[in-house]
Amino acid sequence: MLATADVVVVGAGIAGLCSAWELRQRGFDVVVVEQRFPGYGASGRHPGSIWLQTRRSGLELELSRAGKAKYAELVTAIGNAFDYREAGGLMFFETEEQAEVIQDYVRDRQSAGLDIQMISRSEALNLAPILPDTAIGAAYCADDAQIDSLTFMTAMDAACMRAGVQIFRNTPVLSTLRDGDRVFGVRTVRGAVHSSGVLWASGAWASTLRTEGIDLPVETTRVGQLMMQPVEPHPSPVLHGPRGMYGCGAVEDLAGFETAVFAAPAGDTAELFYDDTIVLNQGGSLYVGHSIDGRGSLNPHISLEGTHAMVGLALERYHRYAHFGIRGLWAGLGCETPDQLPIVDLVDGVYVNLGHSWGVSSAPFAGQVIAEVIAGEPSSFAARLSAKRATLHPVLDQQTRSDAVV
């Protein structure tokens, strides 16, 4: 026996630690088991951008708003040790064709209630010293925000332990412990943890649930990231460029959006997607990314193709930084669902908080949602994030509708 608890949380990423924190605030005795160390997957390898403007109207945007509010709440509870900043976000463009689409995008985002407007290159440069040389203008949204994801993981790790959460590092989980339909803990390489509930928040490693007979529509992805040495001493809004709008539903859903107008970096193939994010951290280091590939794999090493895409695009945009050094080049393992929304539910006796493809925004508040589910509290989000929602199973839903017509 390694430990006992009311709830054992599998995984110490943002979703796992925020869930543990919320459960502890409700009086639960909580144990967290992590195969390596907090933030080992995608949570510790992310620039920390909290996008609202790129999220689709409806549940996506609501969840991002709630996530941003949760960070402000955590600042009050544990202090701002993770550089939470509400400096806004810039969606810049590099051609007139892109400008026309972004103009429609701004009108759409304004109708969704966001504080966003078109600005000139000079105005964007005043806001963001890291604006690329290639940018000719931008849309600025004051509602976007930013954290330092590495320090956030450290802060939440410390806050959970101060609150009484036990965290076992280097402790891979082998299986759940079951008695018929009842799940009463997990078996780890260091011994068993007995508990009244098991919460699986392991991100990319959700695929291991399939050995338990739990086959959720969650796919592993590898997210590449490049970090340069400090380049600017002044803070900046988070930036998103036009070279790949993967995951930016509010842009992709526009009637005038054409993939060819928002061309991905040179060398892109069907296996490599790109989310054109640029962020300056609190130390002045420039993050460039993201390459997205490696679906279905748990290989954590960045690909040559992803490296080529990020380095090539950085050189094209930043002649002034060409002599600066690269401090980090890595990939984080994440996961995503067909509708780009997380799954927060009880599935076959196991609670799950998984599928955060934009987890810096969604995972902290999803921790509150799963805690509400476990505690039996009312939640306005739980049903919409359940594993049974129709948008998770579009083929089955379409077949059901067709059968009904017949």
Question: What SS3 string covers the chain?
Answer: CCEEEEEEEECCCHHHHHHHHHHHHCCCCEEEECCCCCCCCCCCCCCCEECCCCCCCCHHHHHHHHHHHHHHHHHHHHCCCCCCECCCEEEEECCHHHHHHHHHHHHHHHHCCCCEEEEEHHHHHHHCCCCCCCCCEEEEECCCEECCHHHHHHHHHHHHHHCCCEEECCCCEEEEEEECCEEEEEEECCEEEEEEEEEECCHHHHHHHHHHCCCCCCEEEEEEEEEEEECCCCCCCEEEEEEEECCCHHHHCCCCCCHHHHCCCCCCCCCCEEEEEEEECCCCEEEEEEEEECCCCCCCCCCHHHHHHHHHHHHHHCHHHCCCCEEEEEEEEEEECCCCCCEEEEECCEEEEECCCCHHHHHHHHHHHHHHHHHCCCCCCCHHHCCCCHHHCHHHHHHHHHHHHC
The pLDDT of residue 40 is: 86
Is the pLDDT confidence value at 401 over 60? no
Across residues 266-290, what is the average pLDDT?
Answer: 84
16 within 8 A of 39, measured Cβ to Cβ: no
Query: Which residue has better confidence, 103 or 42?
Result: 103
140 within 8 A of 52, measured Cβ to Cβ: no
What are the structural domain ranges in the chain? 3-43+151-218+339-405, 89-142+219-336
Across residues 96-105, what is the average pLDDT?
Answer: 97
- pTM of this structure: 0.94
The pLDDT of residue 211 is: 86
The pLDDT of residue 24 is: 98
Structure tokens at 91: 């969606």
Residue 289's pLDDT band (cuts 50, 70, 90): confident
Average pLDDT, the chain: 92
- Give me the amino acid identity at 134: T
The pLDDT of residue 207 is: 82
The pLDDT of residue 45 is: 79
pLDDT tens profile 30-75: 999 999 999 888 887 788 999 999 999 999 999 999 999 999 999 9
Residue 130's pLDDT band (cuts 50, 70, 90): very high
Across residues 331-357, what is the average pLDDT?
Answer: 94
168 within 8 A of 191, measured Cβ to Cβ: no
CATH of range 3-43+151-218+339-405; options 3.50.50.60, 3.90.199.10, 2.40.50.140, 3.20.80.10: 3.50.50.60
Highest mean pLDDT among 38-42, 205-209, 312-316: 312-316
The pLDDT of residue 394 is: 65
Q: How far apart, in whole angstroms, are the C-alpha atoms of residue 149 and residue 157?
A: 12
Assigned CATH topology for domain 89-142+219-336:
D-Amino Acid Oxidase; Chain A, domain 2 (3.30.9)
pLDDT tens profile 9-33: 999 999 999 999 999 999 999 999 9
Highest mean pLDDT among 197-201, 209-213, 395-399: 197-201
pLDDT tens profile 246-276: 889 999 999 999 999 998 786 545 578 999 9
pLDDT tens profile 133-191: 999 999 999 999 999 998 999 999 999 999 999 999 999 999 999 998 899 999 999 99
The pLDDT of residue 399 is: 40
